Amino acid sequence: MAIAETPDDIYHRAQAAADAAQHAADVAHAYAMQLGEMAGGAVHAASGGAVDPFVLRLAIFAMAVFVGYYVVWSVTPALHTPLMSVTNAISSVIVVGALLLIDVPIIPGHEAGAWAARLFGFIALILATVNIFGGFLVTERMLSMYKKKG
């Protein structure tokens, strides 16, 4: 016969799981930051200090914008609705990231950076929300074209 867990035991197990998940997220975040710094530092060192890591990140962002533009505009109309669904899913991930940025802790001595992160997080949240809403409107309109009339 199994012994039933009390609500207090369940709470403590859930709290332990939440603590473990938070620790894993912190480790993953630190690893991603370290990788980004290493990549920027590697390009900076390989170019003899001629390429600033910020310029490298800006160039990658600009290339992503152009590639995204050409990929989206070359999609056939039959694939537009599935593409909008994927775009909505990506925007939902952006919303989660923006919510995390809005809750950046303010560390003494680094107040300006924390407030900038919060501001950009808020802007990202608004833009991603508008993108999701617009995506659902466009998807609904596209699907209504396939419904029988009358």
46 located within any domain: yes
Write down the pLDDT at residue 126.
92
Q: Model confidence over 61-91: pLDDT tens digits? A: 888 888 878 877 777 766 766 777 777 777 8
Query: Which regions in the chain score pLDDT beneath 70?
Result: 1-4, 14, 18, 21, 32, 36, 77-78, 80-81, 150
What's the pTM?
A: 0.46
How many CB atoms are closer than 10 A to CB 6?
A: 9
114 in Cβ contact with 105 (< 8 Å): yes
Domain of residue 63, residue span:
7-70
Counting the structural domains of the chain, the total is 2
Write down the pLDDT at residue 81.
66
What is the token pair recorded at 81?
């609705």
Write down the pLDDT at residue 114.
80
Domain boundary among the residues 42, 70, 98 is at 70
Distance CA 150, CA 140 (A): 18
Helix, strand, coil share of the chain (percent; to 5): 80, 0, 20
Residue 52, phi then psi, degrees to nearest 5:
-75, 140
Write down the pLDDT at residue 87.
73
Distance CA 9, CA 5 (A): 6
150 located within any domain: no
Shared domain check, 95 and 53:
no
Write down the pLDDT at residue 150.
61
Shared domain check, 120 and 82:
yes
